[in-house]
A and B are shown apart, each in its own frame.
Chain A
Amino acid sequence: MSSLLPPAEKVWWKQPIDRVETVWIVIALVWCLIMFFMMPYWHVYGEQNYSGEAYRTTPQAFTAKVGEMVEQHTVRHETDRMIPVVRPPAGSDIYLLARLWEWYPVLELQKGETYRLHVSSADWQHGLSIQPINVNVQILPGYDMVLTITPTISGEYALVCNEYCGILHHAMLGKLYVVDN
């Protein structure tokens, strides 16, 4: 039962290492380094990165920004709750608010155009999960998260909340449209 006993050799740290261990450590280390450098590599050459851009905000300030956008660019309303569908100009700053228990408003974006998407929460923590492409980010109150997005596939997307936010968490579902030019 040697792993339960003190090492056999007095100076155990000077014992030679078996070849199989040395070979494996080298292989494993090389793979670890490849994985490490892959992340900065993707920041430079990949096209799916969050830059880390974020600002301090308050629920009041952020809600005001959302309201301004909705006022200027609403094109129609949907569902019996009359949720505004907003079609902001390509290249603009667009706003999405998470609050108990909805995503506000519905955004309609143009395929291939780039937008600066600001997301924040008016109350508790939420999770923005864009389906079916399955892109997920964390939304915090007090933080204005900026994702520079270019939707490359047109269609209808669901915005699911995937951070637990209370009893109607499961009903917090929004929409986003990507339309061809």
Chain B
Amino acid sequence: MKPLFRTCPETGLVWHKSAESLIKANAIAAVVFLAVGGFLGLLVALTRWPALQILDAARFYQVLTGHGIVTLLVWIIFFEIALLYFCSAVLLRCRLAMPRVAWVGFGLMLGGAAIAAVAILQGGSSVMMTSYVPMPAAPHFYLGLILFAVGALIGTFIFFGTLVIARDERTYEGSIPLVTFGALTAAIIAVFTIASGAIILIPTFLWSVGYISEIDPLMYRLVWWGMGHSSQQINVAAQVAVWYAIAAIVFGARPMSEKVSRGAFLLYIMFISIASAHHLLVDPGVGTEWKIFNTSYAMYLAVLASLIHGLTVPGSIEVAQRRKGLNRGLFEWLRKAPWGNPAFSGMFLSLVGFGFIGGISGVVMGVEQINFLIHNTIYVPGHFHGTVALGTTLAFMALSFWLVPVLFRRELIWPKLASWQPWLFGIGTALQAFFMMGAGTLGVSRRHWDMAFTGSAFEWAYPGMAYTMMGLNGISAIMAVTGGAAFVLIMVGTIFFGKRKDIPADYSTRRPGLLKRGPAEALGSHGSIGMKGLATPGTFVLAMFLMLVFVVYYVINYAYLATLWKIA
């Protein structure tokens, strides 16, 4: 059977039919799981609102386990598989490698997620996403996760295979595009991640059926976090690729420097996977030197990479805008950006939120000594709602507002609601992150049903402010979930009821034309834009502001630590 292609007259994108179907299937699965996971998240937040506490303890831990797995793993990885296929087959105008095998991978992911879901619903596997041994879950809980991971690994190798085909069949000129390079970074990290998952979950499955007598709890944590943390690093790489993609789609932006942006992605590949240590900073049995080297990604080189993207992504937008004539002052380019376009507003809120909330908190809590103040408090979920919900999820939502209409050849329904969606979801999750971090700073635990300790021998009361913050977190969660629900409704509505675009589905066996290099830029032409010899003065000011907040927050934490008991 010869591969079939269609060229989209609107965007110029070339869709290989099998790739198109697989992207659709993975994207739909992603949205369905996001809806489930978001609903579970609402239940969690409303239970942790002390005045409401809507679930009982057993149900709460069950729902929390489900929320973690469905949102952190299932929704995001389904979307990422769709993204990998898009960044390879579609962007490179190439046929997807082995589509039938890709469908097997999709089936494994779906089946695995379903099996894990059944295990959680049955109630015997309320072990949290981390399933720390020796607390046991049902064997099929681990089995479901293993099958899901195998499916995801297949998807990753389909991506690699497609890159090889594109190169072999010369479908593009020169090097792969930056966005594909970012997706490649995510895929490489994914291989390491899934390997770690297999190394720990397969023995744990065997332990749960009685074949292995004991799993060392520290070894489990070390290897499990090789999956648990690194999977969030896949998200970072994928989300940065999405930022670059949206900057290109909305503004026609090009990277300020291919070398710098690709170099930053390379730093992710080399250093980001050692961050398993972030979770073991106050564990017994691992050495200080190991902790310092690993928690800092060697010497914060992966943080350096994120700081670089933090400049170059908005910088590329600033250059594009200034070239269009929005060259006045520091921020005309940003003021006059299309804030009503959800693809842009979502992307920009994701960028700012990830940097200021998720990024800074993540680095500070990952400092070996400061981790004393943060470990296992609700500050931790505060941080990762800043990275995964506000950063990754919002970036993926933003891309979907552009991608889904193009993919399904339908108009976006309810454009007005769509233009509000990123603000609802973005501000809601940002406030959630903020309040959880605040409550965590006051000592409130994560994964804890009752901050009033009902039924214990002793009594202890957290400060009133901690209770207030947990209530405000609940209110913010309602806002975030409203935004999330709006996203799901718009996506489902567009797929089923959106007005059909007048684009014929004429697939042909003719090979699409060569993907040519981007238009060249006259050397030194940055000179005509910007201020004081800087092409992107506005972005530079924003970046310096980020740095200022970062340094101040870091110093405050060490200063507070210094007032505590002496520990050696």
Contacts and interface: CB of A to CB of B under 8 A. Distances in A.
A48 B462 CA distance: 23
A138 B211 CA distance: 28
Interface string A89-106: 000000000000110000
B562 A18 contact: no
Interface in B261-316: 280, 282-288, 291-292, 295-296, 299-301, 303-304, 307-308, 311-312, 315-316
B299 A33 contact: yes
Given A24-B308, A31-B550, A51-B568, A6 B172 contact: yes
Given A20-B315, A48-B566, A39 B296 contact: yes
Given A5-B518, A134-B377, 17 more contacts: A1-B252, A3-B248, A4-B245, A7-B178, A19-B533, A20-B537, A21-B308, A124-B132, A124-B134, A129-B377, A138-B283, A146-B284, A148-B568, A150-B565, A150-B568, A168-B57, A175-B458
12 contacts: A3-B254, A5-B518, A6-B515, A12-B258, A13-B259, A18-B536, A25-B308, A46-B558, A54-B284, A80-B457, A81-B457, A125-B134
Nearest to B217: A140
B554 interface: yes
Interface in B426-459: 441-443, 445-451, 453-459
Given A52-B287, A151-B565, A137 B455 contact: no
Interface of A: 1-10, 12-13, 15-21, 23-25, 27-29, 31-33, 35-36, 38-40, 42-43, 46-52, 54, 79-81, 83, 101-102, 114, 123-125, 127, 129, 131-153, 158, 160-175
A167 B447 CA distance: 11
The dominant DSSP class at the A interface is mixed
B375 interface: yes
Given A127-B376, A138-B375, A4 B91 contact: yes
A161 B456 CA distance: 12
B540 A24 contact: yes
Contact of A138 (B282, B304, B533, B566): B282
Contacts of A39: 292, 295-296, 367-369
Contact of A8 (B217, B256, B519): B519
Contacts of B449: 169-170
Given A25-B308, A31-B551, A127-B376, A40 B292 contact: yes
A20 B456 contact: no
A28 B245 CA distance: 24
B218 interface: yes
A137 to B, nearest CB: 4
B30 to A, nearest CB: 21
B248 A4 contact: yes
Contacts of A141: 134, 217
Interface residues of B, number: 118
A54 B296 CA distance: 23
A23 B175 CA distance: 27
Nearest to A133: B564
B547 A2 contact: no
Interface in B241-264: 244-245, 247-249, 252-260
Contacts of A81: 457
B543 interface: yes
Contacts of A23: 540
Contacts of B295: 39
A144 B441 CA distance: 27
B308 A171 contact: no
A42 B296 CA distance: 15
A25 B61 CA distance: 44
Contact of A129 (B217, B300, B311, B445): B445
B472 interface: no
A111 to B, nearest CB: 10
Contacts of B178: 3-4, 7
B375 A136 contact: yes
